[in-house]
Structure 1
């Protein structure tokens, strides 16, 4: 198998001191999705760390097979949660992907980078692309592309299958005042894709916070959080995006988000980029669960099973936020979804690149929600992936149920 080149600058910067904290004890193995799927050490956290150590020290050569083992990792960070040595696996993996990034990427990798750097990181371009997609959906073009095989040939079949109908575009004001006496003021992070696919949920969050006495700022200069760029091994673009967001949220003490994938990366801005120092980054469910409410919710009736995204459980270390919020709403029967210690298979864009494994990881989640009316999750990517599995329960963000209990319909488009 031919030897592949490494990025020598990234190799020199690879954090061997972090990787060397791994003692290869194997306590992480039962928690790793790819190890559970394959039983292969090469598809385990300690196997990947050993590979990266060998590459960084010049003891191993990079091959296509080795790069594939790194690409297969979901970056769910379940290994971090159980590691007795507190090995920062996510940071090691990001650095390793930077070191092993191909000098001449495949067409698939070029397409991914074009999407990240050409669209996600540029709100106006992304808005234009989403307008075209809304038009295409109205004409039924995605379905036609799937039926004719065009989507499969372009590698877009999973994306077009799991992407929901886009809601109307939401136009945001810079400030939304509290109803009645102001109890506090927060800023809302919109995200890149989520500001289009989850616009109605973001609007519900603003309306709900206003109803409960909180003013909401929506800084117009905000951009993509940069998580997908960082996890793909990029260095400069995540730094640029972090700087733009730090400038946009200047003066904000509390930043609310609805996507734990974004929130986990925002929360790491101080450590990764020396930005956002002193800013409290809070998922909307946690903020609402802990907040004083200026009104009382009405009762709802039904069973809710709560899915814990990996970014909530393993990165933010706050998997219980959604259940804590829902338990404050009278009438709901709330329980955690069985198997919450395992990834659902979404993992950012991983489900697009590994659809068969992603479906296998999703199946037990869908089965565990069979007796529920709602399946609640706090990450949009997980929500799209779970909904595409055809669960009997309706997939919702916890904020949707809270807004319903308070009779909040959202804000003006």
Structure 2
């Protein structure tokens, strides 16, 4: 079995340099620079793994810029495993100097994050965070984090409740940021899955290791993977679900052989058993890269939304192919992320939405910050929250759109 460098060389050798990846690559669209394209990055990875090039800051920068959206994998005729190549190359290089370790260590601890969010609400942080933001450098990851901080308190931690009936026992993985900022969507997933006849339990809230894995922090990523395996084994479940598409790839990597799904995939197979109340609303549906290319649940999502009578469902056109959030990318490279987000919002504006739906918490917080900055008036939600709100016999507190 080849070592890490040999594995990178082996993966890079699959590329035939055809260039079909260039039109779908968001970073190539930004720069029109071959080094900022998938085949350019593959060539850099091959040179680094063979010792033909040294890992200078200039050479590794295009690798750090990659969003990991995987649109290139989808169109590649040679079936290059680009995600694996990117992970292995970043593992060889180690974390970038722009990797915001302290901020990410806070984000990855949901109990601490929830406590700080409550403290911020108690001291009226939303009223004066603008003053603080203006005093932080433009490239500061803390500045971006404050810009994406929601003004409202997060919902209570998710609970599955008592269940005696059901078809298949599922375990829900809450994650880190999502367990705090997407607790409403996680509770919505439980409501919908139970209505479809599934039994479901909830794993402890912690980080799956996605940001470490994609940031080259190999040891931390493996520690997170081991924690995932331990929690899964203790659950006794047969399938694992996450409402955050950005976690699915990392969870699947930690649990080979386990069926790890977006709950939308399961719900779509039971769509006929779910009855929804009408809702006269025009919604634009942002499809995160990981939902399209990893979860592969975009068609399931649109199918479910179209089961809601009177709901006007408009998928956001692609391109743009990525909103720029991409895990920790918005924190590390805010100047590169912003044009991608602005392009996404321009596309959304052409559809004149009343609400914007997005399944990935990082994407939704980043888009919401852009909506705010542009003075638009589009509430943002997880699609599961809207579906649970319209579900027949749903709890009364979910009735307000």
1:114 to 83, 90, 102: 102
Hey, what does 2:380 align to over in structure 1? 395
Hey, what does 1:266 align to over in structure 2? 251
Separation of aligned partners in 2, 1:396 and 1:185? 27
CA contact (8 A) 1:176 1:215 kept: no
Separation of aligned partners in 1, 2:68 and 2:256? 25
Structure 1 pair 139/316, CA: closer, same or farther in 2 (3 Å)? closer
Separation of aligned partners in 2, 1:11 and 1:255? 30
CA contact (8 A) 1:10 1:99 kept: no
Deviation at 1:231, TM superposition (A): 0.3
Q: 2:295 aligned with 1:316, yes or no?
A: yes
Hey, what does 1:272 align to over in structure 2? none
Structure 1 pair 25/341, CA: closer, same or farther in 2 (3 Å)? same
Query: Per the alignment, in what secondary structure is the counterpart of residue 322 of structure 1?
Result: helix
Deviations 1:341-378 (A, max 9, x none): 61111111212222233221122322222322222221
Unaligned runs of 5+ in 2: none
Q: 2:146 aligned with 1:163, yes or no?
A: no
CA contact (8 A) 2:184 2:385 kept: no
Separation of aligned partners in 2, 1:333 and 1:52? 45
CA contact (8 A) 2:357 2:383 kept: yes
1:176 to 138, 150, 161: 161
Query: Per the alignment, in what secondary structure is the counterpart of residue 291 of structure 2?
Result: helix
Instruction: Say what the alpha-carbon RMSD is for the aligned residues.
Output: 2.6
1:244 to 210, 221, 227: 227
Hey, what does 2:339 align to over in structure 1? 360
Separation of aligned partners in 1, 2:396 and 2:26? 39
Deviations 1:48-94 (A, max 9, x none): 11111111111112222112111111111111110011111111111
1:145 to 122, 128, 132: 132
Separation of aligned partners in 2, 1:154 and 1:136? 23
Hey, what does 1:3 align to over in structure 2? none
Deviation at 1:37, TM superposition (A): 0.9
Separation of aligned partners in 1, 2:388 and 2:129? 32
Deviation at 1:405, TM superposition (A): 0.9
Structure 1 pair 191/293, CA: closer, same or farther in 2 (3 Å)? farther
Hey, what does 1:98 align to over in structure 2? 91
CA contact (8 A) 1:264 1:312 kept: no
Deviations 1:234-282 (A, max 9, x none): 212212211211221222112221110012221233xxxxxx2442212
Query: Per the alignment, in what secondary structure is the counterpart of residue 176 of structure 1?
Result: coil
Alignment of 1:329-348 (within 5 A): 329-339=308-318, 342-348=321-327
2:49 to 43, 56, 78: 56
Separation of aligned partners in 2, 1:199 and 1:115? 21
Calculate the TM-score normalised by the size of structure 2. Answer: 0.87
Query: Per the alignment, in what secondary structure is the counterpart of residue 356 of structure 2?
Result: strand
Higher helix share: 2
Query: Per the alignment, in what secondary structure is the counterpart of residue 276 of structure 2?
Result: coil
Separation of aligned partners in 2, 1:113 and 1:36? 29
Q: 2:208 aligned with 1:225, yes or no?
A: yes
Query: Per the alignment, in what secondary structure is the counterpart of residue 84 of structure 1?
Result: coil
2:72 to 71, 76, 79: 79
Q: 2:165 aligned with 1:201, yes or no?
A: no
How many residues of Structure 1 are paired with residues of Structure 2 in the alignment? 387
Deviation at 1:192, TM superposition (A): 0.2
CA contact (8 A) 1:346 1:358 kept: yes
Calculate the TM-score normalised by the size of structure 1. Answer: 0.85
CA contact (8 A) 2:282 2:312 kept: yes
